[in-house]
Chains A and B, each alone.
Chain A
Amino acid sequence: MSVVRLPQASSFAPSIDHMFDAMVILCGVVAIGVFAVMIGMCIVYRRGSKADRSIPVAQQMGIELAWTLIPFLLFVGIFAWSIRLWVHLRSPPADSLTIYVVAKQWMWKVQHPDGRREIDALHVPLGKPVRLIMTSEDVVHSFYIPAFRIKQDVVPGRYTQLWFKATQAGNFQLYCSEYCGTNHAAMLGTVSVLPASDYARWLVSVTAMTPEQRGRQLFVQMGCSGCHDPQSGIRAPDLHGLYNMPVHLNDGTVVQADDAYLRESIVFPASKIVQGYTPIMPTYQHRVDEEGILALIAYIRSIGPAPPAASQDRSSHD
C-alpha cells in the first residue's frame, strides 16, 4: 500500500514526527493489550468451556484507582511533551523574514518584503526562519503545508501568524484546509524552498515597489496624508513613531498600536478614538483591499522617529 511518510522539510518536522511515532507505539501497545485480553477472555469464558466461574468481586477500589490514575499520569506526560513543541511552534525568532499572505476565494496572494508578489506560490529561503502574517479578504481559509507540519487558519478581519524554517530545498504542496466554498479543493499552491543566494536573486529578478513604498503611495493617493502629515492643517494624530507604542483612547483605555489596531483604525476608525481628537476620519473599508491595508501598515511601521520598539535596526540595540 502506498503510505508514504511525508518529507521532513522544516525544522519542526523531525520533532513532531518523533512525538507522533512515540504516540503510535504507546497507543498501539495499549490497543493490542486490550484486544488481547478481550479476545483471551472470549476464548476462555465462552459458553461451554471449562473454566473457573466462581463469582468474582464486582468492584475493586484498587484496580479502579489504578486504571484511573495511570492513564491520567500518562496523559499529563503527553500533554507536557506536546506543549513544549507547541510553544516552539508559536514563537517566531526575532530575526525572521516577514512575508504577507492574503487569502481569498480561491487563491493565495503573497507579498515579499522587497515588494515581489506572487500568486498560489511561495518562495522562501532555505535555513532562514520565515514568519507569515496572514489575513483573508472573504471567508476563513487555512494555510497548510504538510511537509512542514504546520497549519494556521487565515481569518478575515484578523492577522494570524505562522513561522517555520525550511530545511530541505525543493517544491512542497500548499493546501487550503478549511472549507471555504466551491473551489476549496482547488485552492492549492506550491512552496519552493531555494538556497539563500537563489532566493536573493529570485527576489530582485523582477523590480517592484516594496510594501513601504506602495504604502506611502497609497497614503498620499487616498488622502491620508492630507490629515495625518504633520504640516497639514487638520487636527489628526501624527503617525510617526506610532507603531507598537501605547495609545490613549478617549474612553480612558490604553491599547497597543499593533497590526490589528492599525487595521481597525483604517477599516473602522470610529470604533477606537484617540484621546483629544474628534472622529472625523472616514472609513476605508471598501476603498482599499487587504493587500493595500498591509502596505499602509508596513509604511506606518517604517516611519520614524524611531523609538526602540519600532526601530528598523534592532540588532544594534539588543
Chain B
Amino acid sequence: MTDVFVRDSPLRRSYLWQGGHTLRSWLLSTDHKRIALLYAASITLFFFLGAVAAALMRLTLIDPQGRLMSAETYNKTFTFHGVVMVWFFLIPSIPATLGNFLVPLMVGARDLAFPRLNLFSWYLYMVGGLFTIACLLLGGVDTGWTFYTPFSTMFSDSHVILAVVGVFVVGFSSILTGLNFIVTIHTMRAPGMHWYRLPLFIWGIYATSIVMMLATPVLAMTLCLIGLERLFGVGIFDPSLGGDPVLFQHFFWFYSHPAVYIMILPAMGVVSELICCGARRRIFGYRFMTWSLLGIAFIGFLVWGHHMFVAGQSMYASMAFSILSFIVAVPSAIKVFNWVSTLYRGTIDFHAPMLYALGFIGLFMLGGLTGLFLAAVALDVNLTDTYFVVAHFHYIMVGGSVMAYLGGIHFWWPKITGRLYSERMAQLAAVLMFIGFNLTFFPQYLLGYMGMPRRYHQYPPQFHALNVLSSIGAVVLAISYLMPLFYFARSLRSGASAGPNPWQAAGLEWMTSSPPPEHNFVETPVVTEGPYAYHEHEEQA
C-alpha cells in the first residue's frame, strides 16, 4: 500500500501526501480538501446508519400488522432515520464535502477564508453526531424529526434532550460553514473571476450559505426553548403551562422549510456543472440560472406556513402561504427548462455523472410537480400528513439531492483521488438507482392518494400490495447505494491514473493536477472568460 504511494509521483505531489500521512496530520489538517474528505467519510457513515433505519422500516411495512417491531421501536426508527438523514447527511452532504473541496478550487483560491474555523466546523459536526449516536445507544427518541410540541416537551419519555442537543450543535457547524463560504466567495476570487463568471455550483453554494446563516439560528433558538420547557417547565409551547403548540410549528418550519432549500440549491449547482460537461455546451440562460437560485433562497423564507394548512392557522394566512408557495415554484421551473435547453445542439456523453444529472432532472421535476398539489390548499387538506407528502419530499431530497450528490462525487472523483473508476459499473448503479427509486417511492404517492397516513407502523389491508412493492423497490435502491462502495474502493486500490482533466471539462478546478497540490495552484490562475467554455474548446478542435 505505502509502496504504491511512494512510487506514484502525482500522489506525492498532492494534498494527500504533502500534508503528512499520519492520522494526526488528517485530524488536525486545515486544508479544505482534507477536511472535505473527513466530512465525506463521516457523512457516508451517517448515510448508511440512516439507510439501515429506512431498510428496517420498509421491512416492517411488508406486514400490515407490522409485527417485526413494536410500535415504540418503529417510532424511534423513523425518528432516527429523519434526524440522521436531514441533519447529518443531507444538509452537510454537498456543501461540506463537494463545497469544501471545490469552492476554493473553483474560485481560484488557496483555501477557504477561515481554514481553522472550517476544521472546527467538522469537529462540531462530529460532536453533534456523537450526541445522536449516544441517544440511539441509550434507547433512542420517539418524537419524529419534527419534535412537535407538547409531545416532545411534556409527553415523550425518550431521550429528547440528547437528540435536541445533537441537532443544536450540528446547526452551528452549518452556520460556520456557510459563513466561511460567503466570505471566501466574496473576497478570495482569482483575478478576473467576477460574479457573472462564477460557475453555477458556486452560486448554488452561495445561496445555500445565506440560508444556512439566516435560518439555522432560528432552529437553535427553538431547540433551546424545547429544552427550557422540558427541563424546567417554562411554559412556551404546552397549553397546560400557558404556551402555544402552534407557535412551535411556526418556529420549526421557519427553519425547516428553508432547510429544504439548503438541501436542494447546491444540488442544482452540481447538476448545472454535470449537464454542461455532459452535453459540452454552455449553460442556457446563465443569468436566469443565477437569479433563480437567489430567488428561491429568498422566497423560500416566506412559505413555511404551507406545512400548517390544517394545523389551526388562520384561513387567510393559509391563502398567503399558498400563493407564495406557487411563486417559489416558478424559479424551479425555469431551471428545469434551462437544463433541458442546454442539451440543444450538444454532444452528449452518457457517462455516469451525466446519467445522474439526467435522473435528477426527471425526479426533481416529478417532486416539484407534486409539490403543486400540496401548495393548493384545498388539495393539501386531503393529502397532507399522508404518504403523498412522504413521496413528494423523497423525490426532492433523495431523487434530487442524493442523485446530485452522487453525480457530483462521480464527476469529481478523479480530481479528488487522482484515479478513474469503472465507468460500466457506475453507469449500471446510476440506472439501478433511478429504477429502484421510482419503484420505492412512486407507490407511496398512490398510498397517500388512497389515504394512508404517514408514521404508521401498521395499516389496513387495502394498503398492503403497494407497501410490498415499495419495499421491493427499496431492495433495488439499497443495492445501487452499496455498489459505489465497491467500485470506488477498487478505484482507490488499482484505478488508472486520471490525469488533470479526464472529462475535458471547463472550470479552474480542472486546470490543476489531480489530486491537486496542497495549495491548489502552483500559480494563481487569471480568469479571462465566463464559465462553461465548452464551445471554445470545440472550435479549437
Interface residues of chain A, those whose CB is within 8 Å of chain B, are 1-4, 6, 16, 19-20, 23, 27, 30-31, 34-35, 37-38, 41-42, 45-47, 51-56, 58-60, 63-64, 67-68, 71-72, 75-76, 78-79, 81-87, 89-90, 105, 138-140, 142, 144, 146-147, 149-153, 155-158, 160, 173, 175-186, 268, 271, 285
Interface residues of chain B, those whose CB is within 8 Å of chain A, are 66, 71-72, 75, 142, 144, 146, 148, 150-151, 155-156, 238-240, 242-246, 279, 281-288, 310-312, 315, 318-319, 322-323, 326-327, 329-330, 333-334, 336-338, 340-341, 343-350, 358, 361-362, 365-366, 369-370, 372-373, 375-379, 381-382, 384-386, 446, 449-451, 453-460, 462, 464-466, 469, 535, 538
Once the chains bind, are A177 and B453 in contact (CB under 8 Å)?
yes
Once the chains bind, are B318 and A1 in contact (CB under 8 Å)?
no
Q: How far is the CA of A158 from the CA of B314 in the complex (A)?
A: 13
Q: Name the CB-closest residue of A to B240.
A: A285
Question: Given contacts A27-B369, A144-B453, A180-B151, are A75 and B329 in contact (CB under 8 A)?
Answer: yes
Once the chains bind, are A71 and B460 in contact (CB under 8 Å)?
no
Q: How many Å from the CB of A269 to the closest CB on chain B?
A: 12
Q: How many Å from the CB of A281 to the closest CB on chain B?
A: 16
Indicate which residue in A75, A149, A180 contacts B382 across the interface (CB closer than 8 Å): A149
Q: How many Å from the CB of A94 to the closest CB on chain B?
A: 17
Q: How many Å from the CB of B192 to the closest CB on chain A?
A: 19
Q: How many Å from the CB of A42 to the closest CB on chain B?
A: 6
Chain A residues whose CB sits within 8 angstroms of the CB of B449 once the complex forms:
3
Once the chains bind, are B370 and A47 in contact (CB under 8 Å)?
no
Chain A contact residues: helix, strand, loop or mixed: mixed
Chain B residues whose CB sits within 8 angstroms of the CB of A79 once the complex forms:
322-323, 326, 375-376
Once the chains bind, are B245 and A157 in contact (CB under 8 Å)?
yes
Indicate which residue in A76, A150, A176 contacts B453 across the interface (CB closer than 8 Å): A176
Closest 3 CB pairs of A and B: A157-B239, A146-B451, A85-B378
Q: Name the CB-closest residue of B to A3.
A: B446
Once the chains bind, are A19 and B240 in contact (CB under 8 Å)?
no
A-B interface pairs (CB < 8 A), number: 253
Q: How many Å from the CB of A25 to the closest CB on chain B?
A: 12
Once the chains bind, are B279 and A3 in contact (CB under 8 Å)?
no
Once the chains bind, are B311 and A89 in contact (CB under 8 Å)?
no
Once the chains bind, are B245 and A160 in contact (CB under 8 Å)?
no
- Beyond the given A34-B361, A67-B333, could you list 4 further A-B residue pairs with CB under 8 A, ordered by the A residue number? A2-B465, A59-B285, A76-B326, A86-B377
Once the chains bind, are A185 and B459 in contact (CB under 8 Å)?
yes
Question: Given contacts A86-B319, A160-B312, are A75 and B327 in contact (CB under 8 A)?
Answer: yes
Indicate which residue in B66, B279, B336, B450 contacts A6 across the interface (CB closer than 8 Å): B450
Once the chains bind, are B322 and A155 in contact (CB under 8 Å)?
no
Sample (13) of A-B pairs whose CB atoms are under 8 Å apart = A6-B450, A16-B382, A23-B373, A23-B376, A41-B344, A58-B285, A67-B333, A79-B322, A82-B322, A151-B384, A152-B312, A175-B453, A177-B384
Chain A residues whose CB sits within 8 angstroms of the CB of B150 once the complex forms:
138-140, 156
Indicate which residue in A37, A38, A140 contacts B148 across the interface (CB closer than 8 Å): A140
Question: Given contacts A27-B372, A45-B346, A157-B240, are A75 and B326 in contact (CB under 8 A)?
Answer: yes
Q: Name the CB-closest residue of B to A84.
A: B378
Q: How many Å from the CB of B335 to the closest CB on chain A?
A: 10
Chain A residues whose CB sits within 8 angstroms of the CB of B244 once the complex forms:
157
Q: How far is the CA of A175 from the CA of B350 in the complex (A)?
A: 47
Instruction: Tell which of B242, B279, B283, B453 has the most Cβ of chain A within 10 Å.
Output: B453
Indicate which residue in A20, A46, A68, A76 contacts B348 across the interface (CB closer than 8 Å): A46
Once the chains bind, are B358 and A151 in contact (CB under 8 Å)?
no
Indicate which residue in B238, B245, B330, B362 contacts A35 across the interface (CB closer than 8 Å): B362
Once the chains bind, are A45 and B348 in contact (CB under 8 Å)?
yes
Q: How far is the CA of A269 from the CA of B232 in the complex (A)?
A: 23
Once the chains bind, are B361 and A38 in contact (CB under 8 Å)?
yes
Once the chains bind, are A152 and B242 in contact (CB under 8 Å)?
no
Indicate which residue in B246, B346, B446, B466 contacts A158 across the interface (CB closer than 8 Å): B246
Chain A residues whose CB sits within 8 angstroms of the CB of B72 once the complex forms:
182
Chain A residues whose CB sits within 8 angstroms of the CB of B459 once the complex forms:
185
Chain B residues whose CB sits within 8 angstroms of the CB of A20 once the complex forms:
373, 379
Chain B residues whose CB sits within 8 angstroms of the CB of A16 once the complex forms:
378-379, 381-382
Q: Name the CB-closest residue of A to B75.
A: A182
Indicate which residue in A2, A45, A105, A142 contacts B466 across the interface (CB closer than 8 Å): A2
Q: How far is the CA of A84 from the CA of B378 in the complex (A)?
A: 8
